[in-house]
Amino acid sequence: MNELWRLDAVRIAALVKSRQVSARDVAAAALERLSAVNPSINAVVDMRPGDVLAQAGRIDAAIARGEETGALAGVPITVKVNVDQKGYATTNGVTLQKDLLAVDNSPVVDSLLEAGAVLLGRTNTPAFSYRWFTNNRLHGHTRNPHDPTLTPGGSSGGAAAAVASGIGAIAHGTDIAGSIRYPAYACGVHGLRPSPGRVAAYNASSPERDIVGQITAVSGPLARSIDDIGLALRALSRRDVRDPWWTPAPLTGPEVARRVALCLDPGRIGTCEAIRAKLREAALHLEAAGWIVDEVEDLPPLREAADLQVRLWIGEGYEAKLAAAEKEGDPGALAILRGHQALGHATTLTSFSQALTRRATLIRQWQLFMETFPVVLLPVSADLPFEDDLDLKGHAAFERVWSAQIPQIGVPFLGLPGLSVFTGMTGRTPTGVQVLAPRFREDLCLAAGAVIEAAFGSPCVVDPAGS
């Protein structure tokens, strides 16, 4: 019973609903696991055991009354500190927001609770959720549970480290430039960036999101199984009128040709050989499962999409962002903003409008391409997971990081869903590949991901060093 934390969400929900185990038993086991391993990785930075057990008790009471408890009944799930959870601070990893207490839940939190989840704790993020590394002055440094010398990824680094370590079966994350997919990749789990409009988002505690946040930022799940990713997506896709961008799109689309475009080096990013080998192997497994795979030399514009996403993301309100980072004094946030200073100062209303206009052209090109290839298989990153804090180790290292991440950064600009799928270990270093599909076709990402998972095996729970 004390190892219920090892189970996946699908199994936990089935056991709780059938009353073979109680939600309280599951919560107690999850809290025990959190206490055992979190001190060595610092993934969860706000946890209240009494609150967790009270949530579980309400689930058990509802089941005893014969009430429907939802698809995630009793499943322990972590929530990132950049979304509102009533009574908790929406810190986004900055000291400036340490007292920003939410008076209401975000749609994400309400959707998880409506589905019967037990919210286990809140996970760390870099300051302002800016980096592919997770460290800040308020909550400290999150470590990769496989190897503390590697980044756990960012910005959902706490989420990925938690779920990889058995702290919750599912983790909530957010993604505007890779912040779900890269931490999943770095920590050896799966992570889905849904299509914009799929998962409702809103923080009443904070000012309205800027334009790029509204049209490219998403919430989504990280987990140790593709089935759990699908289960979480169904729960998170719940309607919420507070988000004007939420779209009532079906979770399963019409049948399409099972055809995949394999691209080893999109945008000439210089994909390392270890990842090229994983991509080729994943392609072979898809072919064996009946998919048609064609290797393509390149894809519709991805590097340009990434460049324009950075212009929108960093350039919009650049001076205000820089002033906030300087007030916070966070080295990572300052490195990113100062590293893009020329772009920030050059972003005008005209250039911003031009980027949004060009976006329609690039999306059209990708949609036409995906009429032939409904699934694209490509790297998550050009490199294996980075040395921790690599972006703070000089200009060349900073540029290397940003260049390697083009396959992540370009996807939000295009409005596509993307799935990072674990493909085994190279020594102590996790590896993974990325699957893209057309807008609102997360079902195709999951279908291809399930084949890859079956071939490489599901991620196993990691015992972090020192735990």
pLDDT in tens, 52-108: 999 999 999 999 999 999 999 999 999 999 999 999 999 999 999 999 999 999 999
Look at residue 1 in the predicted model and tell me its pLDDT: 67
**Can 155 be counted among the known catalytic residues?**
yes
Q: What is the mean pLDDT of residues 311-326?
A: 96
Of 22, 106, 129, 155, the catalytic one is: 155
User: How many other CB atoms sit within 10 Å of the CB of residue 81?
Assistant: 28
Reduced to 3 states, what is the DSSP secondary structure of residue 101?
strand
Name the percent of the chain lying above pLDDT 70.
100
pLDDT level of residue 169 (50, 70, 90 thresholds):
very high
What predicted TM-score, i.e. pTM, was given to this entire model? 0.97
pLDDT level of residue 467 (50, 70, 90 thresholds):
confident
**Can 80 be counted among the known catalytic residues?**
yes
Q: Which two tokens stand for residue 200?
A: 């409702």
Question: CA–CA separation, 170 vs 234, rounded Å?
Answer: 13
The domain segmentation of the chain, as residue ranges, is 4-456
Residue 465 has pLDDT above 90, yes or no: no
Look at residue 466 in the predicted model and tell me its pLDDT: 82
Residue 130 has pLDDT above 80, yes or no: yes
pLDDT level of residue 318 (50, 70, 90 thresholds):
very high
Of 80, 225, 321, 420, the catalytic one is: 80
**Of 116, 414, 120, which is closest to residue 238 (Cα–Cα)?**
116
Reduced to 3 states, what is the DSSP secondary structure of residue 142?
coil
Question: CA–CA separation, 92 vs 79, rounded Å?
Answer: 12
- How far is residue 169 from each of residues 7, 78, 225, measured CA to CA in Å? 7, 9, 9
Question: CA–CA separation, 294 vs 393, rounded Å?
Answer: 39
Q: Options 1.10.10.10, 3.30.390.50, 3.40.50.20, 3.90.1300.10; which CATH number does 4-456 get?
A: 3.90.1300.10
Q: What is the mean pLDDT of residues 237-245?
A: 98
Q: What is the mean pLDDT of residues 194-208?
A: 97
Residue 2 has pLDDT above 90, yes or no: no
Of 22, 106, 129, 179, the catalytic one is: 179
More confident residue, 163 or 467: 163
